[in-house]
């Protein structure tokens, strides 16, 4: 594992991955992951979970299964993955080619005060690999994020990129400004638009 001081912060990791995931429906795990995605690159294709901890991957899998023509990315946290390990198995079994899993692993429950999580001792990407994800990788330096993510995006999913991060020391990201029903309406519209793009891409081939 990468020494803590060399790792990107959650904010820096999200700033690196977001530009690569344009054209994806993005499901963002509750807590600082949703808040940083909203602060750094808000748009309608991002669904911000404020509760239902653990279910970001299940929600993303539901979108990916229902709409195979829509690229889907789940921006997940280590605590969320640990809470719903069965989702790694479910994802591997359904094996949607349009599903990308990005796990930000800071080894703590940041939103509640940085209490330690057992992810510091468990290689979550290896659980995904054993379950049957098509490609998994672990990175711990900010310069490695984009090349590894692009390599995964060039191949069919499901893929999982685990990014080792360090807990934030700066000011926290602001809270999500939308009501939950607003977020539902926004992402539903965005998925519809992405589906039209996806179908257009199919017929053009």
Partner 1 sequence: MHAGSLSGVELAGALRARGFDFFTGVPCSLVASLITALEPHGYVAETREDAALGLAAGAALAGRRPVVVMQNSGFGVSLNAIGSLQDIYAIPCLLVITWRGYQGNDAPEHLVMGEAMPAILDAMHIPWRELGVDAASAAADVAWVRARLDEKPGPVALIVKPGVLA
Contact set with partner 1 (CB under 8 A):
27, 47, 49-67, 70, 84, 86-87, 89-90, 94, 180-181, 183-184, 187-188, 191-192, 195
Q: How far is the CB of 124 from partner 1 (least distance, A)?
A: 16
Q: Where are the alpha helices (H) located in the chain, listed in sequence order?
A: 10-17, 32-41, 56-66, 78-83, 86-94, 124-131, 142-153, 180-204
Q: Which is nearer to partner 1, 39 or 89 (CB)?
A: 89
Residue 16 or 81 with smaller CB distance to partner 1: 81
Dig out the tokens for 178 from the structure: 């939308």
Cβ–Cβ under 8 Å, residues 2 and 141: yes
Question: What is d(CA 59, CA 33) in angstroms, rounded to the nearest whole number?
Answer: 15
Tokens encoding 20: 């690569």
Nearer to partner 1, 118 or 185 (CB): 185
Tell me the closest approach of the beta carbon of residue 78 to partner 1, in angstroms.
18
What minimum distance in Å lies between the beta carbon of 55 and partner 1? 3
Reply yes or no: is the peptide bond before residue 104 cis, omega within 30 of 0: no
**In a 3-state reduction of DSSP, which class is residue 104?**
strand
Q: How many Cβ atoms sit within 10 Å of the Cβ of residue 148?
A: 17
- Both structure tokens of 111: 């939103």
Nearest to partner 1 of 1, 94 (CB atom): 94
> Residue 180 CB, nearest distance to partner 1 (Å)?
4
In the complex, least distance from residue 63 CB atom to partner 1, rounded to whole angstroms: 4
Distance CA 105, CA 138 (A): 10
Minimum CB distance to partner 1, residue 93 (Å) = 9
Nearer to partner 1, 16 or 55 (CB): 55
Residue with Cβ nearer partner 1 (120 or 195):
195
Structure tokens at 184: 């539902």
């Amino acid at each position: 594992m990468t020494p803590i001081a060399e790792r990107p912060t959650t904010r820096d990791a999200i700033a690196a991955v977001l530009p690569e995931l344009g054209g994806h429906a993005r499901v963002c795990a509750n807590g600082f992951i949703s808040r940083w995605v909203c602060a750094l690159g808000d748009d309608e294709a991002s669904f911000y979970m404020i509760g239902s901890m653990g279910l970001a991957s299940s929600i993303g899998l539901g979108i990916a299964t229902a709409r195979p023509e829509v690229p889907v990315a789940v921006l997940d946290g280590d605590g969320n993955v640990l809470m719903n390990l069965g989702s790694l198995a479910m994802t591997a079994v359904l094996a949607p080619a349009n599903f990308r899993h990005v796990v930000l692993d800071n080894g703590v429950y940041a939103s509640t005060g940085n209490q330690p999580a057992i992810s510091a001792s468990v290689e979550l990407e290896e659980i995904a690999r054993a379950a049957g994800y098509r490609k998994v990788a672990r990175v711990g330096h900010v310069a490695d994020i984009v090349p590894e993510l692009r390599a995964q995006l060039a191949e069919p999913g499901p893929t999982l990129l685990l990014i080792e991060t360090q807990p934030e020391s700066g000011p926290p990201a602001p809270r999500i400004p939308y009501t939950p029903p607003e977020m539902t309406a926004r992402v539903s519209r965005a998925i519809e638009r992405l589906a039209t793009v996806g179908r257009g891409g199919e017929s053009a081939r």
